[in-house]
Homo-oligomer: A and B are copies of this chain.
């Protein structure tokens, strides 16, 4: 059920419901993702030939969340056309789910005349999210409270053109042509129901372009994604609800690279709290070392500035739930005409969690209050979506699997959209 309560949040999936719950958890975790259980996800992909690389579309959770970050992102926000009702949304979701499954599998969707464009999916994932209007139309009582939006922050400079929409498709692939084609196909397939509100195009390192296991860097030169969840338990605690659903927060963050690059390296490291070369905390030796915020230098000053980005982002000891999955993408566009900036660059910051209000917003608030990095970053877009559970190919659902268990929906959001509510 989408309206996940904050109660029992910390219990995670495994502890939630005794034996039946535990059995279900195993099923969820076995089926939910493409990363072998226990292996780190969201690190650099491996060097297997890309022509053979595909991500399973169906599963207890949607692909594109735990999937290691692909090189390319087309994040497309859609608004429903006037007159589209709950029945229309159901038709759109049946259609989109079927076509996304085909594309991710290297099969040509029924409505497409271009089979040659889909032969090598290159780890294509297409992940769907619902904004508040879909719930308002189809199931008002089921809307999660946090879908009202991320609270306004003092430093926000949000632009309406990057705001909330009714639907979102997160399209990721390791081949930019595949990523463009999938966007085009999905937009065309849904054209009678929804039109594009905005499109955020981003990139990370190409498949195989950095050594396996390395954390990618953003355009500030920082390793980005060090503290992500990695184990099955992490994902069950932080990201996926028991029914396989999750949430996506999108923040578009402009980065003042021109200003940042005027800092020397020591200052950059102080601002972030980590070393630039290996991403280790200033108190540690390895990227994944736990930072020691109490450490002092020979003058008695904190080694890690309490207002450094890392220190502000860390969950306090009494709020271990303030963690989430990050899948950030860079953008790098031409400077505005007449501007003396060298570029219009930044981050499409994608955060996934069970409950944005409990997990994401407190971190954002701490950062907005005093993060030293704020001098070079400006949040210019914000949106939040409910991510439906994963799907099952028609005819393959387990006889014993109920819809409440997730992963059995015939199309995205069936549990919310069906049931005669609309």
Q: Residues of A with Cβ closer than 8 Å to B?
A: 47, 49-51, 71-72, 113-117, 119-120, 122, 161, 174-178, 180-181, 183-184, 187-188, 191, 195-196, 198-199, 201, 203-211, 216-217, 219, 221, 257, 261, 264-265, 276-277, 330, 332-335, 337, 340, 342-343, 345
Contact = CB atoms under 8 A, between A and B. Distances in A.
A80 to B, nearest CB: 15
B47 A210 contact: no
17 contacts: A50-B207, A51-B211, A72-B176, A116-B221, A117-B221, A119-B210, A174-B206, A176-B205, A177-B204, A177-B209, A183-B332, A187-B342, A191-B342, A195-B340, A198-B334, A201-B333, A207-B207
Contacts of A176: 71-72, 176, 203-206, 330
A217 B116 contact: yes
A260 B115 CA distance: 15
Contacts of A276: 114, 116
A51 to B, nearest CB: 6
B184 A342 contact: yes
Contacts of A175: 71, 205-206, 209-210
A408 to B, nearest CB: 32
Given A176-B204, A178-B209, 19 more contacts: A47-B50, A51-B208, A71-B206, A72-B176, A113-B265, A116-B277, A122-B206, A175-B206, A177-B203, A180-B219, A183-B343, A184-B342, A188-B342, A199-B334, A206-B206, A206-B207, A207-B207, A207-B209, A208-B208
B184 A332 contact: yes
A47 B276 CA distance: 31
Contacts of A174: 206, 209
B205 A264 contact: no
A217 B177 contact: yes
Nearest to A44: B51
Contacts of A257: 184
A279 to B, nearest CB: 9
Given A277-B116, A332-B183, A50 B337 contact: no
Nearest to A187: B342
Contacts of A330: 176-177, 180
A172 to B, nearest CB: 13
Contacts of A337: 161
A332 B180 contact: yes
Contacts of A265: 113
A302 B205 CA distance: 48
A264 B264 CA distance: 59
B51 A210 contact: yes
A199 B204 CA distance: 20
Contacts of A50: 47, 206-209
A207 B208 contact: yes
Contacts of A205: 175-177
Nearest to A206: B175
A178 to B, nearest CB: 7
A95 to B, nearest CB: 16
Contacts of A204: 176-177
A398 to B, nearest CB: 35
B209 A51 contact: yes
A239 to B, nearest CB: 25
